[in-house]
Amino acid sequence: MARAIVIVLDSFGIGAAADADKFGDVGADTFGHIAEHVALQGKGLAIPNLMTLGLGEAYYGATGEQPAGISPAAEILGKFGWAQELSSGKDTPSGHWEMAGVPVLFDWGYFLDQQNSFPAELLEQLIEHAELPGILGNCHASGTTIIQNLGAEHMQSGKPIVYTSADSVLQIAAHEQSFGLQRLYQVCELARELLEPYNIGRVIARPFTGSDASNFVRTGNRRDYAVPPPAPTVLDKLSQAGGEVISIGKIADIFAHQGITQKYKATGIEALMAKTLEVMTTAPEQSLIFTNLVDFDSDFGHRRNPQGYAQALELFDQLLPQITAQMQPDDILILTADHGCDPTWPGSDHTREYVPVLAYGAQLTPGSIGRRETFADIGQSLAELFGLEPMAYGRSFLKE
């Protein structure tokens, strides 16, 4: 009997994937470019604990290069590999569902036009059903830029800001006080229903506060309305078998609350890691503790902020020993990512990259698990760990 702690460093890619050309992402490298950014300042990214778990080796496997300016680990204590994504998209639900054993092999719908992105009919229905005075945006945008540009007009007019990106998303930004948080959630739920014919992965509520463009800031009350995964994930199988599936952060939202037995929200890497640690003290055998650290992606990757991303990685690395110290002899820890989001890459979208697969536990033999064909190897390893029926995709690395 065992427990697994899976921590997703959201967007922490480790080099362009073999099929990056299909996404315009040849040369993207989230980790490598962050390391380079820090090395150019004459320093080295200080992530000794991640390196000891095999991050540098995984990076070398994915790219054929050493990360710039980082001292190699004296000893590797974890299993390390680099995984290709089988799913057709480079979005958050695809990455998470695939690591839970269910790759997304169909194509999502997308709103491809940069301007006037949404069908007029859809917007008309949303305005009518939600009794809105209209909407603002209707374009591709970075979420922080668009609230700066349209936040004041939104507050004055009561029209929510509706925007999208290269992902299969419809996002709605609105002011928590002037528009109202609950009203924003209701409008998003309505949008979720109206999007049925469009095959869109997620509607995301993007509440913000502040009085004008100089201080508008998004809050931790973001909410994701995902469609459910297309087949039962390892989360469903574990919870049906009587195990605990404990979501920390936005995991539950990403899985449309399927297969989750407990959920906790927290804002920021420190709070999310503290919650993970707290849950580890009480979670019974046959528990999957599943944490998503969204901040890497939303605060630094999409914001194209390599400095902030580097600091967040260093913070995460400092917090990591608390997690390993709290592990029981049969526990395994898996660190991975759901896609890349290279903070030095043009635009503000995700990047198609390999993700690290780092696994650590007293029962695991350290060493390379090499290139993995799919993130679903994580789900398959979890199925094996918990004694569940094998998943349809993936190859377990527990005994490799």
Annotated binding site: 10, 297, 302, 338-339, 350
Nearest residue to ligand R1P on Cβ basis: 143
> Cβ distance 290 to 248 under 8 Å?
yes
Between 73 and 139, whose beta carbon lies closer to Mn ion?
139
In sequence order, the 6+-apart residues with CB closer than 8 A to the CB of 202 are 91, 92, 93, 167, 168, 169, 170, 224, 225, 226, 227
Gap between the Cα atoms of 273 and 254, Å rounded: 18
Residues paired with 81 in a beta bridge: 357, 370
Q: How far is the CB of 167 from ligand R1P (least distance, A)?
A: 3
Between 303 and 372, whose beta carbon lies closer to ligand R1P?
303
When asked if residue 292 is in the footprint of ligand R1P (CB under 6 A), the reply is: no
When asked if residue 165 is in the footprint of ligand R1P (CB under 6 A), the reply is: yes
Calculate the CA 166 to chain-centre distance: 15
Specify the 3-state DSSP secondary structure of 228: coil
Between 79 and 159, whose beta carbon lies closer to ligand R1P?
159
Show the site string, 78-117: x = touches Mn ion by CB under 5 A, - = not.
--------------x-------------------------
- Point out the annotated binding site for Mn(2+): 10, 297, 302, 338-339, 350
> Of 193-232, which residues contact ligand R1P (CB under 6 A)?
204, 206
- Binding partner of 338, given ligand R1P, Mn ion, none, CB within 5-8 angstroms per partner class: Mn ion
**DSSP string spanning 17-43?**
-TTGGGGT-TT--HHHHHHHHHHTTT-
Sign of the torsion formed by the C-alpha atoms of 299, 302, 303 and 306: positive
> Cβ distance 81 to 357 under 8 Å?
yes
When asked if residue 149 is in the footprint of ligand R1P (CB under 6 A), the reply is: no
Terminal CA-CA length for the chain: 19
Among 88, 142, 209, 262, binds ligand R1P (CB under 6 A): 142
Q: How far is the CB of 303 from ligand R1P (least distance, A)?
A: 8
Residues at the contact surface with ligand R1P, assessed by CB under 6 A: 92, 142-143, 165, 167, 169, 171, 204, 206, 298, 302, 348
Residues at the contact surface with Mn ion, assessed by CB under 5 A: 10, 92, 297, 338
